[in-house]
Structure 1
Amino acid sequence: MDEAGLWAGELESVFARVAGRFSRVDLRWRMRDYVRGLLAPVERKNGWQMAEYAGHRGPAGFQHLLNGASWDADAVRDDLQQYVAERLGTPEGVLIVDDTGFLKKGITSAGVQRQYSGTAGRTENCQIGVFAAYASSRGRALVDRELYLPKSWTGDTDRCGAAKVPASRGFATKGELARAMILRALASPLPIAWVTGDCAYGQEWRMRRTLEEAGVGYVLAVPKSQHLHGPFSRIDQAVADAPDEAWARYSCGDGAKGPRVYDWVAARLPTIWDFDGDWPTHQRWVLARRSLARRDEFAYFLAYAPNGTSVEDLVRIAGARWAIEEAFQAAKNECGLDQYEVRRYPGWYRHITLAMLAHAFLAAVAAQATERGAAETTPPAPCASPWQKSAGSWMLCCPAPHPTSDRLSMP
């Protein structure tokens, strides 16, 4: 089967996976057309242009899909997490939490107000979405989302009612939204070994406590004023006293311009004993990063890691945070994550969820293409003998063929 056929087959499998969430046949076809439009080379992925691409007479069908039809976006999100677990999941998977801004005009879009947007790098009239992404050696994809509602919204019942915000939805900080998504992800099929995020989330002690109680490792950025127990009251003071020989140079992953190399220092914090007095399975760490070009520029992290974790492992997890930025960029550029025109709360969740589904599909086919390429370009190296010696012990690197292997290769 050619590449186009593989893509088409994979997309059909995605549609089949979520079809049961749409009780009516016409809604299923609209959902399929909507996702195809999000994946299509449409200049701007709004209702009119995607409707034209799909051959519809107007955007009314898509508007109904997002605003009026009966279907559960959270159920589709659950299907999406199952899909990502199957296509991208690995035992060392990392969950990343972060937020992104969606610039908007007016005052009626759910959650909109003048607020700081890291996407714009300034205060703008915008909505803020808090997201979770899953990253592994096979790829990365967005797997959950929550719309941040400022107090100017949650304190105004009439305004919330007009935007179809559920009456049960009260005020929650971005950290609380992220913690809720982490708990959902840990209960999902996603294989998660680590969680990471920037200092807006790392400074949330409840989030760190939740992860420790779940036995999940983390490397979370924290502000320089982060309090530490012991002789140092702040993390920056502890790092300032680190001797020169404690610093080591590591790459925390590849960026657009090659490896991201920094100087790093790490130190274990006092051992955590459990309530039964058993030897602990994890240790807490302090970690700091220093720029090579600007020696006075630091970033600080708190970590919780299984015994035997190396500093290089902690650095790798800290660097994994950039995967969500790459996912945001790809989902916006390729799948119209930010090109919606809905104003009401349910419409936001529906568009964002379908855009995440489209992005997960792209991540899955990219992973499949990479695996096919590796299989085609790196055949197994022949060896004269199946027995090889490594680190003083023997290993069998080329097992004897299965008795029926010649029959399996026959047409």
Structure 2
Amino acid sequence: MMSGGASVEETLDLWASGLRSAKERIAPLFTQKRAAASACAFLDVLIGNDPRKTGWMRAEAAGDPGPWRQQALLGRGHWDADALRDVVREHVVEHLGTEDGVLVIDETSFLKKGQASCGVGRQYTGSAGKITNCQIGVFATYVSARGHTFVDRALYLPKDWTSSCERLKQAHVPDDVVFATKPALASMMIERSLEAGVPFRWVAADSVYGVGYVKRTLRRAGIGYVLGVKGNHWFGSWATNPLIAGEAKDIAANLPEQVWHRLSAGHGTKGEQLYDWAYLPLADLDAEEFDCPIAGP
């Protein structure tokens, strides 16, 4: 028996039913039955146990004689990736959506050796902790008491890509794509989630996103946020007593010890992740200042 009271057989039946439902949702995105079948087989392989999933390994697991069908699906097939994103988002809202949900923005890198992959270049990646040859994607994850999963994504294109029309054309980048910073990409994803009716009260992100783009988007929407900033980020309060001004690191250093609270962010690869938090109001803003119909936290 499983800890939740369901047998192994019942759990497997539930998984199989959920997978069939997912396939039924995505199949209409593909105009040919053969392409839809390849997409469903690709999904089977992605959630399989194989630690490495090269083209040949995926083909073997799917029962194909070679990787050509899956290569065609990923490289030459015509289907709407944004429509697939919307299907995934609808599924997430249906099963995980709660009014007090949280949208988490973060990026990750994909290490590459060549120069042909779209957006690849020598750039800093936190995954490797250094500047290296890679692609970088910005992702939005939905988190609630029911679970968590991805709901949106955007590929970051460095300026040496967006400034080269020939390079963009060779990588089949749409003509309307222009350079956008990571915070700008994050703001677009937040706005898409709001327009789609994704229920969330907070957005969390690290210091890459603790800048104007994201804050303005959230303030206008009346959404609360917890955004990291660098130690030299300058803050100035207004309508507070006493008034506060200075760099983040100096403000934090001058706070009395008793206002700090140590909280756990869960377990990581090196054990429990503990952080010290202090609450310091810097302003009391009216929603009308940002053309917002409701006040954010």
Same fold (TM over 0.5): yes
Give the equivalent residue in structure 2 for 1:367.
none
Correspondence 1:211 to 2:198: no
Read off the aligned partner of 2:249 and give its amino acid letter: D
Give the equivalent residue in structure 1 for 2:274.
261
Matches within 5 A, 1:308-323: none
Give the equivalent residue in structure 2 for 1:240.
253
Read off the aligned partner of 2:262 and give its amino acid letter: R
* 1:117-169 deviation line (CA, Å, top 9, x unaligned): 11111111111111111111121111111111111111111111111111211
Aligned CA distance change for structure 1 residues 72 and 281 (closer, same or farther; 3 Å): closer
Correspondence 1:103 to 2:111: yes
Range 220-229 or range 8-17, more displaced: 220-229
> Which of 58, 68, 71 matches 1:60?
68
Give the equivalent residue in structure 2 for 1:286.
none
Aligned CA distance change for structure 1 residues 129 and 242 (closer, same or farther; 3 Å): same
Runs (4+) off by over 6 Å: none
Read off the aligned partner of 1:226 and give its amino acid letter: H
Contact 2:222–2:287 (CA under 8 A) maintained in structure 1? no
Contact 1:113–1:127 (CA under 8 A) maintained in structure 2? yes
Contact 2:236–2:282 (CA under 8 A) maintained in structure 1? no
Correspondence 1:229 to 2:242: no
Range 60-69 or range 245-254, more displaced: 245-254
Aligned CA distance change for structure 1 residues 262 and 39 (closer, same or farther; 3 Å): closer
Correspondence 1:3 to 2:11: yes
Deviation at 1:253, TM superposition (A): 3.8
Q: Distance in 1 between matches of 2:180 and 2:213?
A: 14
Q: Distance in 2 between matches of 1:255 and 1:44?
A: 23
Q: Distance in 2 between matches of 1:165 and 1:155?
A: 12
Contact 1:42–1:50 (CA under 8 A) maintained in structure 2? no
Deviation at 1:263, TM superposition (A): 3.1
> Which of 107, 115, 118 matches 2:126?
118
The aligned length equals: 280
Aligned with 2:236: secondary structure?
Answer: coil
Percent of aligned positions that are identical: 43
Deviation at 1:254, TM superposition (A): 4.5
Contact 1:224–1:235 (CA under 8 A) maintained in structure 2? yes
Give the equivalent residue in structure 2 for 1:134.
142
Aligned with 2:278: secondary structure?
Answer: strand
Aligned with 2:208: secondary structure?
Answer: helix
* 1:169-195 deviation line (CA, Å, top 9, x unaligned): 111111111111111111224211110
Matches within 5 A, 1:358-377: none
Range 183-192 or range 164-173, more displaced: 183-192
Deviation at 1:210, TM superposition (A): 0.9
Give the equivalent residue in structure 1 for 2:3.
none
TM-score w.r.t. length of structure 2: 0.88
Q: Distance in 2 between matches of 1:65 and 1:182?
A: 29
Aligned CA distance change for structure 1 residues 281 and 236 (closer, same or farther; 3 Å): farther
Aligned with 1:165: secondary structure?
Answer: coil
Give the equivalent residue in structure 2 for 1:337.
none
Aligned CA distance change for structure 1 residues 216 and 32 (closer, same or farther; 3 Å): same
Contact 1:249–1:264 (CA under 8 A) maintained in structure 2? yes
* 1:18-58 deviation line (CA, Å, top 9, x unaligned): 22111211111111001101112234212211111111111
* 1:271-292 deviation line (CA, Å, top 9, x unaligned): 113448xxx965xxxxxxxxxx
Aligned CA distance change for structure 1 residues 238 and 43 (closer, same or farther; 3 Å): closer
Aligned CA distance change for structure 1 residues 16 and 252 (closer, same or farther; 3 Å): same
Read off the aligned partner of 2:250 and give its amino acid letter: Q
Matches within 5 A, 1:47-86: 47-86=55-94
TM-score w.r.t. length of structure 1: 0.65
Deviation at 1:249, TM superposition (A): 3.1
Contact 1:128–1:147 (CA under 8 A) maintained in structure 2? yes
Aligned with 2:186: secondary structure?
Answer: helix
Unmatched 5+ residue regions in structure 2? 1-8, 238-243
> Which of 133, 153, 161 matches 1:145?
153
Read off the aligned partner of 2:254 and give its amino acid letter: D
Q: Distance in 1 between matches of 2:162 and 2:276?
A: 44
Deviation at 1:239, TM superposition (A): 1.9
Aligned CA distance change for structure 1 residues 189 and 234 (closer, same or farther; 3 Å): same
Q: Distance in 2 between matches of 1:188 and 1:18?
A: 18
Q: Distance in 2 between matches of 1:17 and 1:95?
A: 24
- Determine which structure has more spread, i.e. the larger CA radius of gyration: 1
> Which of 180, 185, 197 matches 2:193?
185
> Which of 247, 254, 263 matches 1:250?
263
